[in-house]
Structure 1
């Protein structure tokens, strides 16, 4: 019962930004919409053919369940670059694991708003999303091995899904290669922590929430 409530809550969390966006874009008058969005300077650069495979940004993220530090690239899309998909590779040194380990993360971001203050500075006051992280090594599994009693481990030790919320501040330099450089932080949690909280009232929110931060470099100011 508690697990079904948690799943319902997660679904509502993920759909909330879509509902909010529909409310902000509801007016049919294009002039009204332009006036409401004049503070949002994001522009999607439409590449053609094979150039669509070219990453639009690079990221570095510290912590967040994807290793000590993760590096990767990503692609933005949508009319105002409100969607991002990232692929990151992280690492765990032997200090935190039995041996050096690599992690691999696929991350989906939704950024409904960006507020520009002038030509150079902007803030993204809220964004959210989800990501799935896996760790390399035969000691981790997606399905419970036969050597354990049935349902002894109820969760995969190889795959870990997370949900998160965050904020960013961006600076746009006068540079042909860079569109912007952003600093961000995120607060995340995974399904294992949520279930643990639901079944153990002694756990506090700081026990199940994880804090991470990083930098995003937006590339290619002009169309090629």
Structure 2
């Protein structure tokens, strides 16, 4: 995978670092809302680079299975940035292939039902996935002079919406475990739908699910 393919990743990493280091002080946190009990547990200095959670996800255009770490920020942890590595087994390609995904999540609401259960009824975001392999390209190769292929097969941007259910553990290591599902699509599917009316929503939408483990501040 060439270095140029990671420029998008570096841009997101830079913006994430600015958000992490630009977080407000603890005394600026608002009082907890009746339903939304989220409070950001802030690190100090370089400790802000420590991941706040780990994630595992099945499907979603980032391989059959992917896993990685992420960081949350914002006064109520409403923003998350994840970095995930996935794989595509040989049965779906010519060889075992790996993917790299940078994912940005926005979680505007959280509803706490009791001490243990909380629902995030809606969240959304976008992610960028790149895949290793010489058969994938960022720009159309010269062997296609008529430009039949106008989309990169190596880099794919997605948008998504989803829901999460949280179970609070409140132990020394794990704060809560979340189960989530997402519905996503990419620019190729959207343009294909616009130019081919025979395609249904089932043809352009992708369903995925996974788990998130929220870590306590250490």
- Shorter-chain-normalised TM-score: which range? 0.7 to 0.9
For residues 53-132 of structure 1, the aligned pairs below 5 Å read 53-132=49-128
Q: For 1:67-89, what per-residue CA distance to the aligned partner results, in whole angstroms no more than 9, with x for missing partners?
A: 00000000000000000000000
For residues 166-205 of structure 1, the aligned pairs below 5 Å read 166-205=162-201
For residues 118-157 of structure 1, the aligned pairs below 5 Å read 118-157=114-153
Match of 2:46 in 1: 50
Checking the alignment, whether the CA contact within 8 Å between 2:170 and 2:176 is kept in structure 1 is no
Checking the alignment, whether the CA contact within 8 Å between 2:129 and 2:157 is kept in structure 1 is yes
Instruction: Tell me how large the CA RMSD over aligned residues is.
Output: 1.2
Deviation at 1:158, TM superposition (A): 0.2
Aligned to 2:90, the other structure's residue is in SS state: coil
Checking the alignment, whether the CA contact within 8 Å between 2:177 and 2:211 is kept in structure 1 is yes
Q: For 1:78-132, what per-residue CA distance to the aligned partner results, in whole angstroms no more than 9, with x for missing partners?
A: 0000000000000000011100000000000000000001111000000000000
Query: Which blocks of at least 5 consecutive residues in structure 2 are unaligned?
Result: 1-29
Deviation at 1:219, TM superposition (A): 0.3
Match of 1:210 in 2: 206
Q: For 1:23-55, what per-residue CA distance to the aligned partner results, in whole angstroms no more than 9, with x for missing partners?
A: xxxxxxxxxx858x2211111111011211100
Deviation at 1:169, TM superposition (A): 0.2
Aligned to 1:95, the other structure's residue is in SS state: helix
Deviation at 1:150, TM superposition (A): 4.2
Deviation at 1:197, TM superposition (A): 0.4
Match of 1:41 in 2: 37
Match of 2:12 in 1: none
Distance (whole Å) between structure 1 residues aligned to residue 65 and residue 58 of structure 2:
4
Distance (whole Å) between structure 1 residues aligned to residue 208 and residue 137 of structure 2:
26
Distance (whole Å) between structure 1 residues aligned to residue 31 and residue 69 of structure 2:
31
Distance (whole Å) between structure 2 residues aligned to residue 150 and residue 111 of structure 1:
43
Distance (whole Å) between structure 2 residues aligned to residue 202 and residue 41 of structure 1:
46
Give the alignment's TM-score, normalised by structure 1. 0.82
Aligned to 1:193, the other structure's residue is in SS state: helix
Aligned to 2:119, the other structure's residue is in SS state: strand
Count of aligned pairs between the two proteins: 189
Give the alignment's TM-score, normalised by structure 2. 0.84
Distance (whole Å) between structure 1 residues aligned to residue 31 and residue 41 of structure 2:
19
